[in-house]
Amino acid sequence: MCLWSRRATVGGLSAMHLYHQELPAPTTVDIVLPHGSRVRAPDWVRVREQPEVRAACHLRDVRCLVPEAALLDAWHRESVGIGRDLVYRALWLRVCTPRQLARALAAAPRVSGRRDLARLLAHFEAGATSPLEVMARREVFVGRRFGEFEWQAELAIAGRLRRPDMLHRRARLVVELDGRRYHSGDDAAARDRTRDIELAAAGFTTLRFDFQELRRRPDWCRAVVLRAVEARL
């Protein structure tokens, strides 16, 4: 692609895959060109034109949009469902931060699905602690059956204030959302284990779900939580 057009900047899914190879590899190369380029792209190149491209850097000798601009470009190009999943995964992998993506969105004049992306990012402004929590709130534990759960509620345990991700007070059930990206290392695992033991001693059951479980098996996660609530009540 670089040989075909030296004016091109890689964006969308192509740039996201270059930034982190756990993100999906596209079947075509997404590029951005200045308005009026009037190029005839080959079948394996997908072109989007915009007035000028300033937010760019070089990655392995390839000119790419900076991560937050590339993620916004991917959101703009893809369907809402694909774009939403990509945002969760990119933020989870820390390709960019929610704040960086929010700034890129605010500066962009035209973005497909702007309102939906703004609502997703608003959860971080409201205090959500990870992309997993936002995904769980919006995509997994939603609806009337989960209405009694409190999010990030304070709970006094062993003389300390705890703040579980999800709390069902009547059932004395805690749901924690974590995984290797945000809770990694021996020290973090030891803290989680101590926390679970203290909660158990106070009569609370703790369920833990990681990113891949909620993303790949949301129905199973919902069913497990509802069965636990029923058993505890």
Say whether both 80 and 186 belong to one domain. Answer: no
Say whether both 23 and 116 belong to one domain. Answer: yes
How many distinct structural domains can be found in the chain? Answer: 2
Say whether both 119 and 142 belong to one domain. Answer: no
Say whether both 117 and 153 belong to one domain. Answer: no
Say whether both 14 and 93 belong to one domain. Answer: yes
Q: Tell me whether residue 2 is in a domain.
A: no
Q: Tell me whether residue 133 is in a domain.
A: no
- What pLDDT shows up at residue 183? 46
Does the pLDDT at position 162 exceed 80?
yes
**Per-residue pLDDT reduced to its tens digit, 14-68:** 999 999 999 988 899 999 988 877 778 888 999 888 877 777 888 878 899 999 9
Q: Tell me whether residue 116 is in a domain.
A: yes
Looking at 126, 147, 170, the residue that finishes a domain is: 126
Q: Are 88 and 135 in contact (CB under 8 A)?
A: yes
Reported confidence tier of residue 114, pLDDT bands at 50, 70, 90: very high
How far apart (Å, rounded) are the C-alpha atoms in residues 177 and 175?
A: 7
Q: Are 202 and 209 in contact (CB under 8 A)?
A: no
Say whether both 16 and 108 belong to one domain. Answer: yes
Q: Tell me whether residue 132 is in a domain.
A: no
Say whether both 74 and 51 belong to one domain. Answer: yes
Does the pLDDT at position 149 exceed 90?
yes
Domain that holds residue 107: 9-126
Question: Which residues sit opposite 209 in a β-bridge?
Answer: 177
Percent of the chain beyond pLDDT 90?
Answer: 60
Say whether both 163 and 228 belong to one domain. Answer: yes
Dihedrals phi, psi of 52, to nearest 5 degrees: -155, 155
Highest mean pLDDT pick, 57-61, 105-109, 128-132: 105-109
Q: Tell me whether residue 131 is in a domain.
A: no
Does the pLDDT at position 175 exceed 80?
yes
Dihedrals phi, psi of 39, to nearest 5 degrees: -100, 155
Q: Tell me whether residue 1 is in a domain.
A: no
Highest mean pLDDT pick, 106-110, 125-129, 188-192, 224-228: 224-228
Looking at 86, 104, 126, the residue that finishes a domain is: 126
- Comparison of pLDDT for 149 and 51, the residue scoring more: 149
- What pLDDT shows up at residue 50? 80
Of 54, 58, 93, 90, the residue nearest 74 (C-alpha): 90
Does the pLDDT at position 159 exceed 90?
no
Looking at 126, 147, 169, the residue that finishes a domain is: 126
Say whether both 63 and 149 belong to one domain. Answer: no
Say whether both 13 and 109 belong to one domain. Answer: yes
Say whether both 14 and 100 belong to one domain. Answer: yes
| pTM for the whole structure | 0.82
- Comparison of pLDDT for 52 and 203, the residue scoring more: 203
- What pLDDT shows up at residue 38? 77
Q: Tell me whether residue 228 is in a domain.
A: yes
Q: Tell me whether residue 4 is in a domain.
A: no
Reported confidence tier of residue 188, pLDDT bands at 50, 70, 90: confident
Say whether both 47 and 114 belong to one domain. Answer: yes
Does the pLDDT at position 185 exceed 80?
no
What's the whole-number average pLDDT of the chain?
89
Q: For the domain that residue 193 is a member of, what is the CATH number?
A: 3.40.960.10
